């Protein structure tokens, strides 16, 4: 573990930036962990951060955080602005490993755009689908390119993946869309992403990804090519 990383402080910062209930925070965070770490220690750091964020979430909301999925895959396909399927309040914690593949990340604040247009996020996605050019044009003023993303370092990217409507009476997480542009795809090389989805849930909700499966996620050498099932690690893997 990198000695300079103070997990409670980093967890608090990621929580503040990512798990927003209004539009004062960006809805995502990018943490460069550097190179003085290996893949197993990096994935352990991800799990430790989730635990620390869960403690914060329990104190603030009376709810906890649970894993919905955990997997590793080689992603070299450009995507359009999108959400990963999940419940109303969830976020992604993605661990990017060093790679020779050049790529760019962008985040589009679709819930803020929807709010300013007087729509719910679901209505916005139906009327301004960002899979099409007109939807992307609508979102352009709300889109941020990550200029400091480094292919040479380990990085943790957290993305608010929620679909909840904005409310001041019952605050809920406000999501953003994410986009990956692969500039130099190369099947002879790898672009490894350690992908987890985490949801807000009542305290006592059992983990879909058990402690044993979390251990497997940390220590496995399996990396799926994109297109394989990457939803869950299973006991028979």
Instruction: Give the per-residue pLDDT at 227.
Output: 44
In the chain, where are the structural domains located?
Answer: 7-225
Residue 235 has pLDDT above 90, yes or no: no
7-225 fold: Double-stranded beta-helix (3.60.130)
pTM for this prediction: 0.93
Residue 231 has pLDDT above 50, yes or no: no
Instruction: Give the per-residue pLDDT at 3.
Output: 58
Please list, in sequence order, all residues whose beta carbon lies within 8 angstroms of the beta carbon of residue 15, skipping any fewer than 6 positions away: 53, 56, 57
Q: What is the mean pLDDT of residues 159-180?
A: 97
The predicted-structure confidence for 172-197, as pLDDT tens digits, reads as follows 999 999 999 999 999 999 999 999 99
Query: E strands, the chain, where?
Result: 28-34, 63-74, 90-96, 103-108, 143-145, 154-160, 177-182, 192-202, 224-225
Q: What is the mean pLDDT of residues 106-127?
A: 97
Alpha helices in the chain (DSSP H): 7-18, 39-61, 110-116, 121-127, 133-139, 211-219
Asked if residues 57 and 167 have their Cβ atoms less than 8 Å apart, the reply is no
Strands 154-160 and 224-225: unpaired
């Amino acid at each position: 573990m990198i000695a300079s990383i103070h997990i409670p402080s980093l967890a608090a910062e990621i929580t503040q930036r990512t798990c927003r209930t209004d539009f004062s925070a960006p809805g995502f965070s990018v943490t460069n962990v550097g190179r003085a770490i290996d893949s197993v220690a990096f994935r352990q750091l991800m799990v430790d951060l989730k635990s620390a964020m869960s403690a914060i979430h329990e104190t603030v909301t009376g709810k906890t955080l649970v894993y919905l999925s955990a997997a590793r895959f080689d992603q070299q396909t450009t995507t359009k602005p999108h959400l990963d399927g999940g419940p109303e309040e969830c976020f992604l914690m993605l661990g990017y490993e060093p790679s020779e593949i050049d790529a760019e990340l962008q985040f589009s604040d679709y819930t803020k755009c929807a709010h300013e247009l007087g729509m719910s996020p679901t209505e916005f996605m139906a009327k301004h689908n960002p899979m099409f050019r007109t939807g992307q044009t609508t979102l352009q003023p709300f889109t941020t390119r990550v200029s400091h993303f480094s292919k040479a370092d380990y990085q943790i990217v957290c993305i608010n993946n929620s679909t909840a409507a904005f409310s001041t009476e019952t605050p809920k997480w406000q999501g953003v869309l994410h986009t990956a542009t692969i500039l130099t795809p190369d099947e002879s090389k790898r672009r490894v992403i350690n992908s987890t989805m985490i949801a807000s849930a009542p305290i006592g909700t059992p983990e879909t990804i058990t402690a044993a499966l979390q251990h497997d996620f940390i220590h496995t050498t399996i990396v799926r090519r994109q297109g394989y099932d990457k939803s869950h690690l299973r006991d028979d893997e």
